[in-house]
Amino acid sequence: MCRLLGYLGAPIQLEHLLYKPEHSLIVQSYQPKEMTSGVVNADGLGVGWYHPEREVSPFTYKNTVPIWNDTNLPQLSRYVESGCVLGYVRSATPGQGLDLSNCQPFTDERLLFIHNGLIENFRKTLYRPIRDRLKDTIYQSVTGTTDSEHIFALLLNHLQASGESDLKAALHYALTTISELAQAADLSFSANCIVSNGHNLVVSRHAVGTSAPSLYWLRDDPMFPNAVIIASEPLFASNWHSCPNHSILSVGEDLDIHIDQIT
């Protein structure tokens, strides 16, 4: 299992999210408290962010080393400031390659996507059924081998097929499609996801045949006013709320939070 982080709100330096909190994403990489599979998150990292003033594609920084060994990220985190950030440290599923093509966040035009969870025995089970459902342009855009990127591909496929930009509907489609496939094949599937277009966050906590990984949200904390934070584990002591199981949480530009059940 991996550890995730999402932020939407007033522009902030990345170091205040990645390094400053007492139980930051850095600490969660080597000393997680709520992981149910694996011990550390030492198989790479990724950060994605949007320019606070320009409508451009998001920027990403990725590496395959443990985040605590990355010598460039601390300096980058002092320089970069953004009002929408996604971060991730990886605990790779056995058999999935440790290379940049498998590092998150995944991107497409204005979108950023990260995922914590797994499809049981993905390469031997649902790899082909998922790819068979993709339009050729989406099929060709998949460059890695992870289940995470294929969840994102299903989401993109729905957006392209519908001609709409409803991220909540697209994520719901991807999750329910894989859930149906997993149940039919008697497989376990878990998906804590965050997808963003720079103005909104759409978040899921969902699982079939297993327990969903931990996921929390926090709004307008005194340390981070005018902001919503999503995290696999609380970054510091505060009034964190556990995201409900089988739910999609949407954070709007006004930071209003809406929670819908996945049915």
Q: Which strand ranges, in their side-by-side order, compose the sheet holding 189-196?
A: 106-108, 111-119, 189-196, 201-208, 247-251, 257-261
Confirm if 4 and 87 have CB atoms less than 8 A apart: yes
Show the tokens assigned to 78: 């002092």
Confidence of residue 231 (pLDDT cuts 50, 70, 90): very high
Confirm if 47 and 73 have CB atoms less than 8 A apart: yes
Confidence of residue 92 (pLDDT cuts 50, 70, 90): confident
What pLDDT does residue 52 have? Answer: 84
| Alpha-helix residue ranges (DSSP H) falling in 90-134 | 127-131
Strand 81-89, strand 189-196: pairing: unpaired
Average pLDDT of the residues of the chain: 95
* 3-261 belongs to CATH 3.60.20.10: yes
What pLDDT does residue 177 have? Answer: 98
What pLDDT does residue 27 have? Answer: 95
Q: Is 2 a catalytic residue?
A: yes
Query: pLDDT tens, 25-53?
Result: 999 999 999 988 778 888 899 999 999 88
- Domain spans of the chain? 3-261
Query: What's the average model confidence in pLDDT over 132-153?
Result: 96
Query: What's the average model confidence in pLDDT over 224-240?
Result: 98
Note the pTM of the prediction, 2 decimals. 0.97
Confirm if 84 and 168 have CB atoms less than 8 A apart: no
CA–centroid distance for 238 within its chain? 22
Sign of CA dihedral 58, 231, 4, 147: negative
Which residue type does 27 have?
V
